[in-house]
Amino acid sequence: MDQRQLDLPGIMGDTGLADELDENRKGSGLCNRGELHVHMNGAIPALTIREILADEETVLPAGFEFERDLVRTSPCQSLAEYLTPWQVLRLFPRKRENLDRLTHAVFAGFADNNVRFVELRSSILYLASLQKCSPAQALERLIESTGKAAQRYGIRRGLILTVTRGDYSAVNLSTLLQAYSDLGEPKDVIGLDLAGDEEIGYPAELPSLFQAAKDRFGLGVTIHAGETGRVVNHPGFRGGCFV
């Protein structure tokens, strides 16, 4: 693991609360936990989502049924089906205060499950579009909001910035890295992620751009691959074999 992932920000800024949480965990006999793969929007409680959608008067996509399509309780037939909730999860928060609202709900859930360390994935490009701000401002807001929640619940956290597969993924990665640079390469950001439906293609130059970002900034890189059975999407697959 990269050294930057071993020394993350947001360590128990609220000492009193952190000590109280520690005592509660000791009494329960439960061990502290770490989460290395959490998509922030996917960790928001359904009740909080309902409240934010109502507050922002968000119209659900045609054919989307909240109870049926938001929470997955049975196996899906495809990755596209599994990703159905993101039709709604990408529609909020449009208000700055609702970012804090959902962030605190997410970290409260972590605390309830004795999570003391989390690598949290999020797309600041969606946030920038929703809140009508620049990617750098969106990243700054995400760092601030998650940092406060991490301190409140005594949790260490690092942010992984997500790029979604598609024709514009290379441009989007460049935009993310520019925002990261504009903010002075904040230590809160520890990695980059490629996600999305693997049936959707991406520009041929994208892998080299990820490698260049890793080499230049020392960021970790994670790639969602092989989730649809397409072995060619595995990052170690080259020229008909694994390397």
SS3 string, 119-165, reads: EEEECHHHHHHHHCCCHHHHHHHHHHHHHHHHHHHCCEEEEEEEEEC
Continuous H helices in 76-134: 79-82, 86-89, 96-112, 124-131
Q: What pLDDT, on a 0 to 100 scale, did the predictor assign at position 75?
A: 87
Do 159 and 142 touch, CB atoms closer than 8 A? yes
pLDDT of residue 29: 62
* pLDDT value for 74: 84
pLDDT of residue 235: 53
Tell me the pairing of strands 241-242 and 237-238.
antiparallel
Instruction: For residues 161 and 243, give the distance between their C-alpha atoms in angstroms, rounded to a whole number.
Output: 26
Domains of the chain in start order, with CATH, are 3-42+113-242 (3.20.20.140)
Please tell me the predicted confidence (pLDDT) of residue 230.
61
Identify the pLDDT of residue 183: 98
For position 232, what pLDDT does the model report? Answer: 61
191-210 residue pLDDT tens: 999 998 888 888 999 999 99
Q: Is the pTM of this model over 0.85?
A: no
Return the pLDDT at 240. 42
* pLDDT for res 7: 37
Q: Find out whether 14 and 154 touch, Cβ atoms under 8 Å.
A: yes
* Segments of the chain with pLDDT less than 50: 1-16, 27, 237-243
pLDDT of residue 24: 54
Tell me the two tokens of residue 182. 């504009």
Q: How many CB atoms lie within 10 A of CB 73?
A: 5
Structure tokens belonging to residue 78:
């495809």
Q: What is the pLDDT of residue 82?
A: 85
Q: Which helix (H) or strand (E) holds 118?
A: strand 115-122
